[in-house]
Amino acid sequence: MFLFHKIKKTCIRKPVKEYTIKSYDEGECLICLMKFQKDEVVSLINCNHKYHTSCLYTWFERKKTCPICNELLDIDLD
């Protein structure tokens, strides 16, 4: 099991929600720069920015802010 799966299940206090991509033109993950695929489940954070879940949790290990707008998120990874 990857670390981000364990974190997601036990430590996240709902500033992160699952979101299903509805169309091929919903952009890309601005952490890894890969396009989102239709019907892919990604993470949506309170500021309404979307990221691949694995990318987001890797980012959260270093910073507790949105990579785009720098909004501080209430996330405990310990």
Give 18-56 pLDDT, tens digit per residue.
999 999 888 999 999 999 999 999 999 989 999 999 999
- Domains of the chain as residue ranges with CATH: 3-60 (3.30.40.10)
pLDDT of residue 9: 45
Secondary element (H or E) of residue 52: none
pLDDT of residue 11: 44
Higher pLDDT, 31 or 78: 31
Determine if residue 14 is left, alpha or beta; phi over 0 gives left, psi from -120 to 50 gives alpha, anything else beta: left
Closest C-alpha to 37, from 50, 27, 49, 48: 27
61 neighbors 45 (Cβ within 8 angstroms): no
Does 10 have pLDDT greater than 50? no
Mean pLDDT, residues 1-5:
48
Pairing outcome for strands 50-51 and 41-45: antiparallel
